[in-house]
Amino acid sequence: MRYALPVTLLVALAALIAISPHVEPRRLRFRARQVTEDLRAKHGFRDGSKASWLAARSTDCPPFHYGTRQTLDSELSGMLHGLPVRVAGYELVTNGSRHRYGLAAVTLPRPLDLMEVRGEPTHLSWRTHENELLLWKRDGWDSAAQLITSVRLVLNQLEPTGLNAAGEAY
């Protein structure tokens, strides 16, 4: 009985160490499924394809520039603010830990100069490349509304480049 409590505590600590790296990725995947379901049900998004992401991933630009075991999931396509949008989840492993991003790619009506903004206080990063606007968010979006708001905010920031919020060229 004298050793039962320390052994039990040691086993519990070992279990916690073994399980803890898997808890956060599962929580983030669950939240991503909720966002996906909301985009389908309330915003008319439909299943997309991994192939539609090949061009964006081939640039080796953030967030595709590091890690191993890179995978896409929950690919959707739809329309936001009159523009075609692709949405996906993106996971990678670096230094033994799993990282998740939410991705949204907006097809713009015309090419824009290369611009990139990373690490803004909203925890949102984005880049324009030719006629595509790519947004990514570490740990993914909390809700479909947050994703839509993020797209709207970046499109509004692009207004001085001659692109209005509806995505039409001036």
Asked, for residue 4, whether it belongs to a domain, the answer is: no
What was the pLDDT predicted at 4? 81
The 10s digit of each residue's pLDDT in 88-133 is 999 888 888 888 899 999 999 989 888 888 876 687 899 998 899 9
Asked, for residue 155, whether it belongs to a domain, the answer is: yes
The string of DSSP codes covering 65-114 is TS-EEEEEEEEEEEEETTEEEEEEEEEEEETTEEEEEEEEEEEEEEEEEE
User: Domain range for residue 75?
Assistant: 22-161
Q: What is the pTM of this model?
A: 0.77
Asked, for residue 27, whether it belongs to a domain, the answer is: yes
Asked, for residue 7, whether it belongs to a domain, the answer is: no
The 10s digit of each residue's pLDDT in 57-86 is 777 777 887 878 888 888 999 999 899 999
Asked, for residue 6, whether it belongs to a domain, the answer is: no
Asked, for residue 10, whether it belongs to a domain, the answer is: no
- The DSSP code for 156 is H
Asked, for residue 16, whether it belongs to a domain, the answer is: no
1 neighbors 8 (Cβ within 8 angstroms): no
Q: What is the mean pLDDT of residues 3-13?
A: 77
Q: How many domains does the chain have?
A: 1
Asked, for residue 168, whether it belongs to a domain, the answer is: no
